[in-house]
Chains A and B, each alone.
Chain A
Amino acid sequence: MKMKWVMLIILCVSGPAWAGEARPLADDPVAEARLKHLAVELRCLVCQNQTLADSNAPLAEDLRREVRDMIAKDMSDQEIIEFLVSRYGDFVLYRPPLKATTTLLWVGPFALLTIGAAALVITLRRRAHTVVDVVVTDEEHRKVEQLLAEGGKRS
Chain B
Amino acid sequence: MSRFLLPLSIFVVVVIFLGVGLTLNPREIPSPLVGKAAPEFSQPQLYDQEKTFSPADLKGKVWLLNFWASWCSGCKTEHPVLMELAKSGQVPIYGMDYKDQRDEAVTWLQRWGNPYSVVGVDEAGRVGINFGVYGVPETYVIDKQGVIRYKQIGPLYPDTIEKTILPLVKQLESQ
Q: Which residues of B contact A87 (CB under 8 A)?
A: 32-33, 129-132
From A1-9, A55-63, A136-144, A146-154, the one touching the partner chain is A55-63
Closest beta carbon of chain A to B14's beta carbon, Å: 11
A59 to chain B, nearest CB (A): 5
As a 0/1 sequence over residues 21 to 46 of chain B, the CB contacts with chain A under 8 angstroms (1 = contact) are 00000100111110000000000000
- Asked if B125 contacts A85 (CB within 8 A), the reply is no
Q: Is the CB of B32 within 8 A of A45?
A: no
- Residues of B within 8 Å of A, CB-based: how many? 17
Chain A hits for B129, CB < 8 A: 62-63, 66, 87
Closest to A44 in B: B134
Bound complex: CA A32 to CA B32 (Å): 28
Which residues of chain A from 39 to 81 have a CB within 8 Å of any chain B CB? 45-46, 48, 58-59, 62-63, 66
Report yes or no: B32 in contact with A89, Cβ–Cβ below 8 A: yes
Contacts of B135 in A (CB 8 A): 45-46, 59
CB distance from B126 to the nearest CB of A (A): 8
**Cα–Cα distance between A89 and B133 once the two chains are bound (Å):** 12
Flag if A62 contacts B29 (CB, 8 Å).
no
B124 touches A88 (CB 8 A): no
- Residue among A58, A63, A85, A88 with the highest chain B CB neighbour number at 10 A: A88
Interface residues of A, Cβ cutoff 8 Å to B: 20, 45-46, 48, 58-59, 62-63, 66, 85-89, 91
* Chain B minimum-CB-distance residue to A20: B124
Q: Which of A20, A59, A66, A85 contacts B134 (CB 8 A)?
A: A59
Residue in A62, A63, A87, A91 whose Cβ sees the most chain B Cβ within 10 Å = A87
Residue of A nearest to B134 (CB): A45
Flag whether B61 is at the interface (Cβ < 8 A).
no
Q: Are B33 and A58 closer than 8 Å at their CB atoms? A: no
A85 to B129, CA, bound (A): 11
Query: Among residues 99 to 149 in chain B, which have CB atoms less than 8 Å away from a CB atom of chain A?
Result: 99, 124-126, 128-132, 134-135
- Partner of B29 from A59, A66, A88 at Cβ < 8 Å: A88
Output the least CB separation between B103 and chain A (Å). 20
B6-64 residues with Cβ-Cβ distance < 8 A to A are 26, 29-33
B125: chain A residues at CB < 8 Å are 58-59, 62
Residues of chain A lying within 8 A (CB to CB) of residue B33 = 86-87
Chain A residues with CB under 8 Å of B130's CB are 87
A-B contact pairs, 6 of them (CB 8 A): A48-B26, A62-B128, A66-B126, A86-B33, A88-B132, A89-B30
Q: Across the interface, do B132 and A62 meet the contact criterion of CB distance under 8 Å? A: no
